[in-house]
Each structure stands twice: as C-alpha cells, then as structure tokens.
C-alpha cells in the first residue's frame, strides 16, 4: 500500500514537473493517434456516407464485414500489417517496420471499419424524406447526399472521437509494428507495459493517469455531441 502511495506521489510529480520522458511518450502517442484518426476519418466518413446513401448488390455483405472487423483484436491487425511490411513482405521495400508510419498505418486500418460503420449507421438514421426534399429543391445527387450527411454531423463527429478513443488506448499494434523505441515509437500503452514489467510503477502510473484524462475528455466530448444531435 505504501509502495502504491509512493508511486502515486512520484507519478503526480512526474506529471506536474513535465518530465521529459513522459512528455515525449505522451506527444508521440497523441501524434500517432491523431494522425491515424484523421486519415481514417477522411476515408471512413465518405465511405460510410456512400454506403448509407447508395444501394448496390453486395451492400449487406460489406456491412457484415465491417461489423465483424469492429471487434477485431488489435494484435491481429498488428500481425496482419506486420506480414505486409516486414523485410520479406510485399511492402518490405518501404522499410516501414518499427517506424511511426507503421503504427499509424496499423491504427488507421484498425479504426477505418469502426468509423465507416458508425458513420453509415448515423447517416442511415436520417429519414429518406430529407434527401427527397433536397432533390426537390434543386440539389444534385452530391449536394443532396451532403445535406443528408450534414444532418448527422454530430453523430459523425462522435464516430471520429470513438475512433480516437480506440487507438489512443490500443497496445497490440503499437508494440508489434512500433517496437517500443524510446523517443521514436514508444507510446503511452507500450511504455506502461514496459514499466510494469520492470517493476517501475511511477512513470507507468503517470502515463495511466494521462490516458484516463484523455479518455475522460473523449467521453465528455462524445456526450456533448450526442446531446446536440
């Protein structure tokens, strides 16, 4: 108990003194997570909107595949990307393994289905009469679809935030594809894992507290957006 108390005090001290190792790790994590969320949002939003507003033969199949991928374990995604980018893999020539780009690629692949599925589900809740109204007011197909999507904008933002929440707390991809290199690919979660295995809890606890604060911020924002929608 006293060890935990001591570690907690040290953790708080590390946070308030803006410890260099801690800030490097936190900023690396935020950079990777924000980058992957941005890329997955920029691709997943149009994909989800398109899926929700169009009708084609294999639509239901694609929805089923996306929904299956929602529950995909991060280590499986990490393993899949590893097989693509390791030195003998089809993308091995790009030398991506154990780089920030590899983590961002893996995290993007992890949350693309999530954002696509959530955006699709959000846009699908807008009644078809909104699209018809846009069309009868002279809008072309693109503007009509855009209008329908903008009716669901709060839920679409929630989808992106949910994606961010998923990648900021993942460990499988960062560990397998990043290699946990300090100052380069070490993230909050891989650092916590390493510190715990070394029996040094202070930095791990400090990072855990920051992770919880970020998760809390995401939840608060999500709730505010949900209320708005």
Residues lying near other proteins in the complex (CB under 8 A) are found at: 129-130, 132-141, 143, 147, 150-151, 153
- Cα 65–chain centre separation: 19
The residue among 23 and 147 lying less far from other proteins, judged by its C-beta, is 147
Contact at 8 Å (CB) between 74 and 170? yes
Q: List phi, psi (to 5°) of 157.
A: -65, -35
CB of 125 to other proteins, least distance (A): 13
CB of 49 to other proteins, least distance (A): 16
The number of CA neighbours under 13 Å toward the Cβ of 28 is 25
CB of 133 to other proteins, least distance (A): 4
Q: Which of 127, 125, 157, 130 is nearest to 144 (CA)?
A: 130
CB of 129 to other proteins, least distance (A): 5
The residue among 125 and 141 lying less far from other proteins, judged by its C-beta, is 141
Contact at 8 Å (CB) between 141 and 72? no
The residue among 2 and 136 lying less far from other proteins, judged by its C-beta, is 136
The residue among 8 and 133 lying less far from other proteins, judged by its C-beta, is 133
The residue among 15 and 152 lying less far from other proteins, judged by its C-beta, is 152
Contact at 8 Å (CB) between 219 and 162? no
Q: List phi, psi (to 5°) of 183.
A: 80, 0
Contact at 8 Å (CB) between 87 and 158? no
CB of 42 to other proteins, least distance (A): 23
């Amino acid at each position: 108990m006293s060890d935990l108390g001591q570690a907690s005090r040290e953790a708080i001290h590390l946070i308030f003194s803006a410890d260099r190792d801690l800030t490097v790790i936190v900023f690396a994590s935020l950079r990777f997570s924000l980058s992957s969320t941005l890329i997955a949002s920029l691709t997943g939003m149009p994909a989800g909107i398109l899926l929700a507003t169009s009708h084609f033969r294999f639509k239901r199949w694609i929805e089923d595949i996306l929904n299956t991928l929602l529950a995909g374990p991060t280590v499986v995604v990490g393993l899949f990307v590893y097989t693509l980018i390791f030195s003998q893999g089809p993308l091995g020539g790009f030398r991506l393994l154990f780089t920030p780009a590899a983590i961002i690629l893996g995290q993007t692949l992890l949350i693309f289905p999530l954002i696509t599925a959530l955006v699709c589900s959000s846009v699908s809740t807008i009644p078809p009469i909104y699209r018809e109204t846009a069309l009868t007011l002279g809008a072309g197909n693109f503007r009509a679809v855009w209008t329908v999507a903008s009716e669901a904008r709060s839920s679409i933002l929630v989808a992106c935030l949910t994606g961010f929440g998923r990648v900021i707390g993942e460990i499988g991809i960062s560990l397998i594809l990043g290699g946990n290199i300090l100052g380069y690919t070490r993230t909050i979660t891989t650092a916590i894992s390493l510190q715990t295995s070394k029996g040094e809890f202070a930095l791990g606890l400090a990072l855990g507290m920051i992770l919880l604060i970020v998760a809390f911020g995401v939840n608060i924002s999500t709730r505010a957006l949900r209320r708005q929608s």
